[in-house]
Amino acid sequence: RTQTNYITVTLAAAPLVTGPVAMPAVIPTDTDGSPGTGETTVLSVTVTGANVASVTVNLMAIGGSTAAAMTDAGDGTRTASTAATIASPFADGAYQPVNLVVNATNTDGASNTTVTIPLTVVKNGDANEDNRVSLYDAVYTARHTLGMEGYPMTESVGEVSGDSELSLHDAMYLAKHVLAIPGYEQLH
């Protein structure tokens, strides 16, 4: 006579990850190692499911950690604030968003890596977003600041002087940077 015993093990399903957002969705590169106004973004997702152990985001594509922890706001929303040191790929005349992979893992080890957070990172100072920082970007910034039509821009990309406000001073600072004038080596 044969006796068979079965053990049933039920593992919780991997956490569900929804609502990926980067706020703002476009940031300039941090070129001085000290992220200033507009050079950081808050990445967020909503994570639900039983026994969530950790939620991380892979920031390698923008120069960060491969597993940056996302903190729990207490309501299932997980966030991480980050800056970027690497610009997004440039193709077909535009910066392309990078997709930052979220990894939500429960205490059973089941993980969900199917959700990404799109983020576009533009070279600091590249006001017209053509993948080059040139004197034209200084002119473009000045024209935008003066309210001239046809010069839309992500203002944080042009805010290079470090005073946290886009102004004609930034256009002048960028021009001096491009011309390699001493004292203007670093974009902020």
Identify which has the larger pLDDT, 6 or 82. 82
Per-residue confidence (pLDDT) for residue 9, from 0 to 100? 64
For residue range 117-176, what is the model confidence (pLDDT) as tens digits?
A: 999 999 999 999 999 999 999 999 999 999 999 999 999 999 999 999 999 999 999 999
Instruction: Please tell me whether the peptide bond between 28 and the residue prior to it is cis, using omega within 30 degrees of 0.
Output: no
Do residue 104 and residue 164 come from a single domain? no
Per-residue confidence (pLDDT) for residue 11, from 0 to 100? 66
Do residue 156 and residue 110 come from a single domain? no
Q: Is 97 within 8 Å of 26 (Cβ atoms)?
A: no
Per-residue confidence (pLDDT) for residue 28, from 0 to 100? 98
CATH number, residue 45: 2.60.40.10
As a residue count, the chain comes to 188
Distances from the Cα of 1 to the Cα of 4, 5, 32, 36, angstroms: 10, 13, 77, 76
Residue 148, in any domain of the structure: yes
Domain limits at 140? Answer: 135-178
Do residue 112 and residue 168 come from a single domain? no
* Strand-strand pairing, 26-28 and 90-91: unpaired
Element (H, E) at 20: strand 16-23
Average per-residue pLDDT for the chain: 95
Do residue 106 and residue 37 come from a single domain? yes
- Other C-beta atoms closer than 10 Å to the C-beta of 102 total 26
CA dist 42 and 177 (Å) reads 29
Residue whose structure tokens are 């910034």: 141
Do residue 20 and residue 110 come from a single domain? yes
Judged against a pLDDT cut of 80, whether residue 1 lies above it is answered with no
Residue 166, in any domain of the structure: yes
Residue 158, in any domain of the structure: yes
For residue range 37-68, what is the model confidence (pLDDT) as tens digits?
A: 899 999 999 999 989 999 999 999 999 999 99
Over residues 97-120, mean pLDDT: 97
Residue 140, in any domain of the structure: yes
Percent of the chain exceeding pLDDT 70 equals: 97
Q: pTM of whole model > 0.85? A: yes
Residue 139: is it exposed, middle or buried by C-beta count within 10 angstroms (0-12/13-18/19+)?
Answer: middle
Q: How confident is the model at residue 5 (pLDDT cuts 50, 70, 90)?
A: confident
Q: Is 102 within 8 Å of 118 (Cβ atoms)?
A: no
Judged against a pLDDT cut of 80, whether residue 12 lies above it is answered with no
Do residue 27 and residue 88 come from a single domain? yes
Instruction: Supply 125's token pair.
Output: 């100072």
Per-residue confidence (pLDDT) for residue 10, from 0 to 100? 64
Over residues 94-103, mean pLDDT: 98
Nearest residue to 173 (alpha-carbon basis) of 62, 63, 36, 40: 36
For the chain, the domain total comes to 2
